[in-house]
Amino acid sequence: MTDLLGVRGTPVLRLLSGVGSARSHQRPVRDEPSGRAAHGSRRESRSERAAAAEVGTTRTRTTDLALVGRRDAARLGALTAAITGFGLVIVLSASSVVSIATYGSPWALFERQVMWTLLGAVAFLVCSRGDLRRLRKLAAPLLILTVLLLVVVLTPHIGRTAGGSSRWIGAGPIRLQPSELAKLAFALFAADLVARREQARDHVQVVVRPVVTVLGFIALLILKQPDMGTAIVLVSIGAAILYAGGTERRVLGVTFGGLLFVGSLLILSAPYRRSRFLSFINPFAHASTSGYQVVQSLEALGSGHLFGTGLGGSVAKWGFLPNAQTDFIFAVIGNELGLIGALAVLLAFVGLGILGLRIAARAADRFTSLLATGLTCWLVCEALINIGGVIGILPETGIPLPFLSFGGSSLVVTLGAVGLLVNIGRNPTLRTARPAPAAPAPRPRPRPAAARR
């Protein structure tokens, strides 16, 4: 309208339109951004929003991962506590007769087991709350200490012998079995080495050869005791860590196939190992000699039927089944609790294996993931080897059933291993590797003399 009146530029219309004549009353007029600039600003805002959304999603995933890890860790701790508590009950039942005959009291061996359980609980708490970064630094020193202890065990007048095997250090009820500590030390060493050399994990010279060399040396010391079962468990730990570390299957097949061949030669070379192997093939043909223990174990399992004879009602522990409270405690479980009790124990170890692998799969750090894999394989393979020997589908090797068999060193070390699994589950996002050093800033090149002029 003002254009039609021809007076658009008059001071009156400027005042009416809110624009003063004075320069101090004028509003600064912003230039409208060009189309290209506006498009660029919108693109930047979109990228900023996308980055913020990605950060939020990452934080949510990290929180969810930590929550699920803590749940798995709590379940693993509760399951281990249940198995260990049940182990105390079954050790009391299986050892009462031997305890009376040896010490004059049915509580003697049970009291020792309670003492070792308390020490194992301390090991569990320390390992479940310790700093995994510091633990990784102790991998090599712990391995060296274990090798020294294995050498000391073989020293005459120092190592303690029982049942034809020299496996212990100490006196009286306080005895240490270094071969149990060797499982933990080797798992730490192998996980650390494979994690540090991850970029070259397919190279036999860089990864496989050092792990197999250390494994072979420790296994040789353990076989000198002799202890074939622990050597087999060590081989399973090494195979699990190398496989989880990405080593080629062909390399693993050739390496551990060679170890299997060497193990077979060792079995056939020693008379007592050869007799055990032959009795495993047909134990009833050697029922009065080398197959006696397996035959008595099968009879105890069979007489338990579906629901068993009840706690304390087994007749196998009355001198019929040797080592009822140690290597063959699973036969006592099947005898007193029947097929239901035996299957419950099997399911408990299956659950332990599943929780351990879940923790290993969710660990963000390579070292903790490999360590969790090795520890889980150790516990599950040891249980399967023991139970397989008791029911006659595997040769009897003399290794205990984790958390259930009578024994001090085995119980303390296995509870410490579960404590490490719980620690890894509680801290799935923890990084144990040292941060790479920052690259030095490039030095400025000297300017030519002509340029300075």
Q: Which of 29-33, 110-114, 419-423 comes out lowest in average pLDDT?
A: 29-33
Q: Looking at the domain assignment, is residue 43 inside a domain?
A: no
Contacts of 314 (CB under 8 A, 6+ apart): 93, 94, 300, 324, 332, 335, 336
Whether the per-residue pLDDT at 360 is higher than 60: the answer is yes
**Contact by Cβ (8 Å): 111, 402:** no
* Cis-peptide into 442, omega within 30 deg: no
Q: Looking at the domain assignment, is residue 205 inside a domain?
A: yes
pLDDT in tens, 137-162: 999 999 999 999 999 988 887 777 66
**Higher-pLDDT residue of 308, 171:** 308
The total of other beta-carbon atoms located within 10 Å of residue 219's CB is 27
Quick one: average pLDDT of 337-343?
A: 95
Which of 227-241, 284-298, 436-450 is predicted most confidently? 227-241
What pLDDT, on a 0 to 100 scale, did the predictor assign at position 9?
43
What pLDDT, on a 0 to 100 scale, did the predictor assign at position 3?
42
Residue with tokens 């069979």: 302
What pLDDT, on a 0 to 100 scale, did the predictor assign at position 46?
60
Cβ neighbourhood burial of 303 (10 Å; 0-12, 13-18, 19+): middle
What pLDDT, on a 0 to 100 scale, did the predictor assign at position 362?
92
What pLDDT, on a 0 to 100 scale, did the predictor assign at position 169?
80
What pLDDT, on a 0 to 100 scale, did the predictor assign at position 420?
97
What pLDDT, on a 0 to 100 scale, did the predictor assign at position 387?
95
What pLDDT, on a 0 to 100 scale, did the predictor assign at position 50?
56
Average pLDDT, the chain: 82
Helix, strand, or coil here: 169?
Answer: strand
Which of 70-79, 221-230, 254-263 is predicted most confidently? 70-79
The total number of structural domains that make up the chain: 1
Give the separation between CA 402 and CA 243, rounded to whole angstroms: 24
Give the separation between CA 161 and CA 175, rounded to whole angstroms: 11
Q: Looking at the domain assignment, is residue 8 inside a domain?
A: no
Residue 447: pLDDT band (50, 70, 90) is low
Range of the domain at 354: 62-426
Quick one: average pLDDT of 276-285?
A: 80
**Higher-pLDDT residue of 52, 2:** 52
Quick one: average pLDDT of 256-262?
A: 87
What pLDDT, on a 0 to 100 scale, did the predictor assign at position 8?
40
Whether the per-residue pLDDT at 283 is higher than 70: the answer is yes
What pLDDT, on a 0 to 100 scale, did the predictor assign at position 20?
39
Residue 165: pLDDT band (50, 70, 90) is low
Q: Looking at the domain assignment, is residue 52 inside a domain?
A: no
Whether the per-residue pLDDT at 332 is higher than 70: the answer is yes
Q: Looking at the domain assignment, is residue 166 inside a domain?
A: yes
What pLDDT, on a 0 to 100 scale, did the predictor assign at position 376?
97
**Higher-pLDDT residue of 322, 423:** 423
Give the separation between CA 17 and CA 14, rounded to whole angstroms: 5
The sheet with strand 165-171 has its strands ordered as 159-162, 165-171, 174-176
Q: Looking at the domain assignment, is residue 133 inside a domain?
A: yes
Quick one: average pLDDT of 246-255?
A: 88
Quick one: average pLDDT of 435-447?
A: 51
Q: What is the pTM of this model?
A: 0.82
Q: Looking at the domain assignment, is residue 53 inside a domain?
A: no
pLDDT in tens, 365-403: 999 999 999 999 999 999 999 999 999 888 888 899 999
Whether the per-residue pLDDT at 6 is higher than 70: the answer is no
Q: Looking at the domain assignment, is residue 446 inside a domain?
A: no
pLDDT in tens, 120-141: 999 999 999 999 999 999 999 9
Quick one: average pLDDT of 163-186?
A: 80
pLDDT in tens, 264-273: 888 777 777 7
The angle, 0 to 180 degrees and rounded to 10, between the axes of the packed helices 209-223 and 249-269 is 20
Closest CA to 403 of 76, 109, 120, 75: 120
What pLDDT, on a 0 to 100 scale, did the predictor assign at position 348?
96
Give the separation between CA 414 and CA 385, rounded to whole angstroms: 16
